[in-house]
Amino acid sequence: MDFNVHEGTKGIMELVVTEEHSAKKIGSGLADVFATPAMVALMENTAQTSIKDNLPEGYATVGIEINVKHLKATPIGMKVKCESILKKVEGKKLLFEIEAYDEVGKIGEATHYRYIINSKDFMSKIQK
């Protein structure tokens, strides 16, 4: 099957850091700052959202690998912007480069692989 995903596709998402995104709340640390797991979730969501409308009905992507650097802390109340770009398409395997910024500067970067799946077949396999 041919998938309508193309190298160079970009995604952008923004959020305001709340207590729900904090390391203390998530359990990844004791500080009231933007948690690394929350940043990773934003990065993955930015990547998958950028191409989801180009996939055929019944298809989605799943994350299979992420290599992330959390470069600096972001306080609660600050806006975070995440940008992804689809760098490589190898059949069903997609490679994204992702960066995250707060209002002061760059806070994170990642390379992220996602894999295109048939949602029904995927769920059927994991429920066996």
The answer on pLDDT for 122 being more than 80 is yes
Across residues 80-96, what is the average pLDDT?
Answer: 97
Nearest to 40 by CA among 61, 56, 23: 23
Please report, for the chain, the start and end positions of each structural domain, with discontinuous segments joined by +: 10-126
List the end-to-end C-alpha distance of the chain, in Å, as a whole number.
Answer: 25
Question: 18-54, pLDDT tens digit by residue?
Answer: 999 999 999 999 999 999 999 999 999 999 999 999 9
HSE-CB at 21 with a 13 A cutoff on CA atoms is 20
The highest-level CATH class for domain 10-126 is: alpha beta
Distance from CA of residue 104 to its chain's centroid? 21
Nearest to 110 by CA among 22, 17, 11: 11
Please state, in angstroms and rounded to a whole number, the distance separating the CA atoms of residues 59 and 120.
Answer: 8
- Quote the tokens at residue 108: 């994170």
pTM over 0.75: yes
Among all chains, which residue has been given the structure tokens 């998402």?
13
Residue 20: Cβ-neighbour burial (10 angstroms; 0-12, 13-18, 19+): exposed
